[in-house]
Structure formats: C-alpha cells, structure tokens
Structure 1
Amino acid sequence: MKCKGDFSTKGIDMKHKLHRLLSRLAIASALATGVAGTALAQEVKIGVVLSNTGTFAFVGAPVINAIKLAYEELIAANYFGNTKVTLLVEDNRSDRAEAITLINRMATRDQVSIIIGPVSTGEAMAAAPVAVDLKVPLFTTATSPDVLKAGPWIFKSTETAEQFMQPLGNYVVQKAKPKSCFYVFIRDNEGYVRQKNVLRDTIAAGGIATVGDESILAADSDFTALATKMVSSKADCVYVGTPPEQGANIVLQARQAGLPASTLLVGNTGMGSDRYLKAGGKAVEGTVFPAEFVPTGVNEMGRKFITAYTKKYNMAPDSWAGVGYSMMLITANAIKTAGPNPSRDAVRAAMAKTNKLPVVIGQGTFTLDNDRIPSFGAAVLTIKDGKFVQP
C-alpha cells in the first residue's frame, strides 16, 4: 500500500502548493484592482451640454470651440498634474428637453464632476432643478440670476442684466443722446425680457421717451408690420433684443420700410456675434451693444487667446468665444483647487470661492460673490466698417 500512501502525501502537498499559488494570485489581483481603482478615481470628467445647432448656436458654437482650445492648452501645460481630465461634449440642439436628457446622462452614466451649459436662460431654468437633484455642478451662460435660485449647485458665467445693460443705457443717454426709443424683444425667453426692461428703464430715467415696446417670438421671421410701426414712430433710437440673425432680419426689413440711416441701433450681447454681421451687412453698421470680450484683448492672456483661436479656427474669436475660453479656465481652477480625487461637492465648493481669477473677458478677472453672482466688467462696443470696436 506504499504506492497508495505516497500518492496521498503528494496529493496533499500539491493542494498546499495550489492553495498558496491561488492566495498569491488573489493578493496580486487585489493589489492590481486597488491600483486600477486609484487610477480611475483620479479621472475627472467635464461635461459640456451646449447648443451647437438651433436658435442658440450663435452662443454654443463659439463657446464649444473656445472650451476645446482652452482644454488642449491646459493638458499641454500639464495643468492638472497626475489627475486625468477628460472632456465630453454634447449638442442639445437649443432644446430644453434635450438639455435635461443629456445632463441626466452625463451625471448618472458618465459620472462627470461638473457640466458646462446649457446656453439660454430658458434652457437653464428647466435644467437647473435636475442638476440640483443629481448634485452635479452646472455652469451656464444664462443671463438671468433667477437660474441660481434652484440651489447651490448652479453657477453662471454672465453678469446680470443690471450689470451690463445699465452701462449700455448710460452710454445711450450720455453719448448718443437720442430723443426717443423703440424697443423690440423676444418674449419667450425670460433673459431677453429682463435685458429689455433694464435698458428701457435706464434710458427712460435719462429723459428719453419710449415710443414703442413690441414683443415677438424667437421663431418669427416676417416683420413687415413691425417694421412699418417702427418707422412710423419716428424714433431716432431702436433697440433689438433678439438672437443675432433674427435681429439682423428685423433691421433689414426696417431699412426697407424706410428706417433712416441716422437711427441709432442698440442691441443685446447677441449682436457681438459674427452671425449678426453676416446676416445684416451694411444695414447693421453703427449698432452699439454690451460685450463681455474686447476684440483687441483686455490683457496678455486675451491677446494670446485671440492669436491661438484665430490660428486654430481660421477666424477671430467673438465675444462668446471669449466667454467659453474663460469658462474652461474657471472650471479648471475649481477642479484643481478641489484637490486630488475631488468629489462633486468639493468642485462645487471650489467654484463658489472663485475670486479675481485671471480670464480674457471683462476687465480681466472673474469673481463670484456670496450669492454666486459673477462680476468682471462688461464693455460697450459698436460696429464700424464691419468690425467690432470700442466707440
């Protein structure tokens, strides 16, 4: 039975060796999993949900371009160190429901740490409560401060209408000095309504009469009756608060109806888009409007941005491109400030503490106050010889 006994002993020995081998493999696997887990934990994802098509693409397209440029520069400079940062970009097609769907997906499936977007006040008002429920920071270009009321997870890159429309109104009163003004604005977007109201009240306080206050829809395109009413009012100042192509269309139809070349044209920030220039041509010469970005660059960073953007996209950046570039810098600063392996709450807290951060818009620095209202100092620009310049 020796043979049987030897076989039994060897079998036990083999079992011990196999057990030790499996133990080593398990430990190695656990260590590998731990390393992989750490690597994954060090990855931060930035979601971008903006209108690359549709009504608000005049904002979304240049903002996306500038975000991508800033992201590439930050990665090349190793700004984030050992933290891997990826950028996920989606087009919500200027649609509120699509914005909500994409924000849901990015927050739950993609596990992004922060979302840049959406564009308009209407989209942001619809999406903000969703972001708050999901506890993901949302950084929008919406102008109305009402979007911030949804909760502490919401941030905006643009100043309030009071901050940038009052200086425009003061310019009209003190420099242009018209006798009366006719106002046209879209009523299906709260941000546009608020901008018009602030400007109208500022100008009226300066003694300039309001001779027309007409609302339209963002989808409207036939302004024959409106143009006749504008010309009949004999206003020597006309404010157009609409998306850029629509605004240019209104001006063109008003010119055809007999609006004098001497009439002062006043617009909102959208008139700082190349789309306004292309659609309106010579008819929109002389338009004055508020702008976040000075075409010549407010600082050295701004001048380098203009050069880099022009080289990459074969066109000069407009005001919204400056906003997009700055938004990426602000987002990157929050991620870095939040520390290694940051939670969404840490990123949110870091965003809220943004103070005098160098950017390319306004006067060159960006600050959020205790109510998350941004300040940077908008400028007044005009169109001269087909270019955006300071008056």
Structure 2
Amino acid sequence: MQRISHSFRQLAAAAAVAALAAAGVPAAQAEDITLVSIQSMTGPAAFAGAVFQKSIQLAVDEVNAKGGIHGNKVRVIERDNAGDKGQAINLASQAIDRDRALMVLGPSLSADSLAVAPVFNEKRTPFLTFASSDAILKSGPWALKLRQGSDVDGPILARYLLEKTPIRKAALIFDRTNESLIEYKNFFRDAFKAGGGTVATEEAIVSNDSNFLPLATKLKSLDVDAVYVSSYAEQAANITSQLRKAGLPEKVRIVGSLAVASPKFIANAGKDAEGAIVISDYAIGIDRPLNKSFDAAYQARYQAEPDGFAAIGYSLAQVALASIKEAGPNPTREKVRDAYLRLKNVPVVVGSGVWNQKDRRPHIGALVLVVKDGKFSITQ
C-alpha cells in the first residue's frame, strides 16, 4: 500500500510538471511573479521601446539579486509589438490568458496603449503604461500610468523661457499623427501665450516627413525668437539642421518638447543643436543616490550612457515593483492595482526623484536642459 501511495505521488508530481510545461511555465519557476513587458523593440519606435526593455530588465535583475519580492523571484516575459497596434492587442490577450501576467508593462507608445486598454480593462488586468496623455485613464480603472500629464511639462518650459530668456515670439512645429506630441504642443502653447508670449504660426508635420526647406523659408520671414518642435528626436534634429541650413539665425533658439530630449537629437543635429532648450525627465549625473547607482549600473551592463528613455523604463519598473511589494506576499491582479493606488513617495531617477500619484494621475516634476558643448546641461 505504501508503494502504491508513493507511486501515485510520483505520478501526481509528474502531471503537475507537465501541466506547467504546457502552460509555458518552467517547473522550477512555478512561484515566480510573472510580468509581461510589451514594447516596440523593433520598428520605428525601437529607439524608445528597446531601451525601455533594457532598463526594465536591469531593475528586475537588481531586485532578484536582493531576494526578489516577499521571497519570490520576478520573471519578465519580453514581447515585441514593433509599434503595431494590432500586434499589441494580440500580445495583450496572450499576456492575460497564456502568460498569466500579474501585471503588464507597456506598451511603449500612447497610441498602442490606447489600443490595448479595452482588453486589459475587460479582463481586469493592471497595465502600467508609458503614455503621458491622461486620455488613457478614461479607458477604465485598470489603466495605470508612470508619467505625469502633458499639462505639467509644457507650462514648466514656457515659464522658463519667459522668465529666464528673451524669447517672446515663437513658431510651433508638431507631429499631427501622435496624440502625445500634439498635447505637448498645445499645453506649451497655452502656457506660453498666457504668460505673455506670442505664437506666430503652428505648422503640422507627419512622422515620415523629411523635407523641411520650404517650411524653413516661411519661418525665416516671421521674425521669431524661437522655434518650438514637438516631434521625436531624429526628426527634430533633421528639422533643426534644415532650418539652420536655410539661414535661420543662431539667435533664434530651438526649443524642444519631451520627445526631443535624447542624445540622438544632439548626435544627428551636431553643432546645429547647440543652444537648444528642451524639457526633460532626466539628465545623467544628477547627484542623488539612486541616480548614481542607476547611471553606473546601466553603463556597466550596456556599455552606453543611459538617456531619458532608459531612465523612464527604469522608473516604470520601480513603480511596478513597488506596487507588487505593497500588494503583499500573495499578490493578485486586483491587489496589485489597489496597491498602486496607495503608493506614495516612490524613489525614481526621473524628474524630482520622487514619484507620487493621486487618482492615477502621477507627478514627478521635470528638468529644463540646454545643449552646451555638445551635451545636455541642467538649467534648473
């Protein structure tokens, strides 16, 4: 009888292992906390998504090296939606049903996040998005944010220009195909005008535009003090170089939204980037303990200096991991969502260094940077 019982236990254990394998979960990791990260690791937004993923993995590896969360290791399943909304929706469903994710990180882009939001809300699964637009919150209570709304960054930048520079008249260029980039422009414009500034013109472009010489000719005739650009870094660099090539005087400052604050802007624009003023979440070399350890760890692991996207990815992971820890030793999706709502004063490497939220609307602060001698320098 004892031998039969022993054999039965062996068969039961083997069946459990087989079930875990069929579900895609290694037996040794049955108690792992599973996160799924859906990022644009390839495609047109890979400059952000691939870096987000590197920093998320760095943060998870650090917490695992310290014993995990409540004794459980954290496992990240990486998924690439290549900047495609349809693929993001498919991966969202897989993350919920197949991967059994406790929480999902991403997607990288606001448009992709809005596309997947109905899936997560219907299946009652928390997802922590990189989207800055508060529009994502209207999709339902399972949509969570890392970044503050665009209504914070724009006024900070406008106030700096009006109080610290002679800029009073600006032309605005923005990518009309991206909701976040439009919001950046609108909030900056409204704050700039409310503070006494004048907007000479608003020029819409699309993400694949590359010839800006006709636009440069128009802007030269407007006698502006600055040209505000709300597009991604590489396109912003192309715009800047073509404006200078067309004869836009150096005294006319280039001003950039949050999307411009990347080393790729300086690398692509070269000397034409000198003097540009941008709003940013992050700058390397900030004298805070977490920033110092992050800067050093990222460079040691990836042999490159972290940029704003790296800092945002790392900070998003810090908030996700803090939510899971706050949820207690037996976390569920609902407990993690509720824990996020209780979080306060989470250390991050962006903005002021402290993340808070109220009613799912985060606040982290922002930095104003100027390009000086080929590098971003903090002005305030």
Per-residue CA distance 1:323-351 (angstroms, 9 max, x = gap): 11111111111122222332111111112
Alignment correspondent of 1:325: 314
Q: What is aligned with 2:329?
A: 340
The residue aligned with 1:165 is 154
Q: Is 1:57 aligned with 2:46?
A: yes
Q: What does residue range 92-241 of structure 1 map to in structure 2 within 5 Å?
A: 92-241=81-230
Q: Among 41, 59, 63, which residue is 1:74 paired with? A: 63
SS of residue paired to 2:365: coil
**Candidates 248, 260, 281, aligned match of 1:292:** 281
- Conserved in 2, the CA contact under 8 Å of 1:41 and 1:341? no
CA distance, structure 2, for counterparts of residue 348 and residue 298 of structure 1: 32
Return the match for 1:271 from 260, 264, 268: 260
Identity %: 35
Partner of residue 359, structure 1: 348
Cα contact 2:162–2:168 (8 A) shared by 1 = no
Could you say which residue in structure 1 is the equivalent of 2:374? 386
Distance 1:124 1:199 in 2: 23
User: 1:31 Cα shift?
Assistant: 7.3
The aligned residue for residue 23 of structure 2 is: none
Residue 134 of structure 1: how far off its partner (Å): 2.2
What secondary structure does 1:90 align onto? strand
Establish whether residue 22 from structure 1 lines up as the match of residue 4 from structure 2: yes
- In structure 2, what is the equivalent of residue 282 of structure 1? 271
| Other structure's SS at 1:213 match | strand
Deviation at 1:32, TM superposition (A): 7.9
Alpha-carbon shift at residue 162 of structure 1 (Å): 1.2
Contact map agreement 2:175 2:182 (CA 8 A) in 1: yes
Runs of 4+ in 1 over 4 A off after TM superposition: 27-41
Give the drift of 1:291.
1.2
CA–CA separation in structure 2 for the residues paired with 1:215 and 1:94:
22
Q: 3-state SS of the aligned residue for 2:157? A: helix
Aligned length: 372
- 2: distance between equivalents of 1:306 and 1:291? 16
Q: TM-score, normalized by length of structure 1?
A: 0.90
Alignment check: 8 A CA contact 1:42 1:340 kept? no
Deviation at 1:59, TM superposition (A): 2.0
How far is the alpha carbon of 1:225 from its aligned partner?
1.6
User: Take 1:60 and 1:383, find their aligned partners in 2: how far apart are those partners?
Assistant: 24
Change in 2 beyond 3 A, CA 1:84/1:73: closer
- The one-letter code sitting in structure 2 at the alignment partner of 1:25 is S
Q: Note the residue ranges of structure 1 that are not aligned, 5 or more in a row.
A: 1-16
Which has the greater radius of gyration? Answer: 1
Give, in whole Å, the separation in 2 of the partners of 1:195 and 1:62: 22
* Alpha-carbon contact 1:46-1:113 (below 8 Å) kept: yes
Q: Is residue 44–residue 83 contact of structure 1 (8 Å, CA) maintained in 2?
A: yes
Q: Retained in 2: the 8 A contact 1:294–1:362?
A: no
In 2: Cα distance, 1:81 partner to 1:209 partner = 55
Confirm or deny: 8 A CA contact 1:45 1:87 kept in the other structure.
yes
Instruction: Encode CA deviations 1:183-237: one digit per residue, 9 max, x unaligned.
Output: 0001111111111011011111122211110111112112222121122212111
Query: Cα gap change, 1:32/1:352 in structure 2, threshold over 3 Å: closer, same or farther?
Result: farther
The 3-state SS of whatever aligns with 2:251 is coil
Deviations for 1:245-290, whole angstroms, at most 9, x for unmatched residues?
1111111111111111111111111222111111111111111111
Uncovered stretches (5+) of structure 2, i.e. residues with no partner? 21-26
Q: Give the match's secondary structure for 2:182.
A: helix
Give the letter aligned to residue 126 of structure 1.
Answer: A
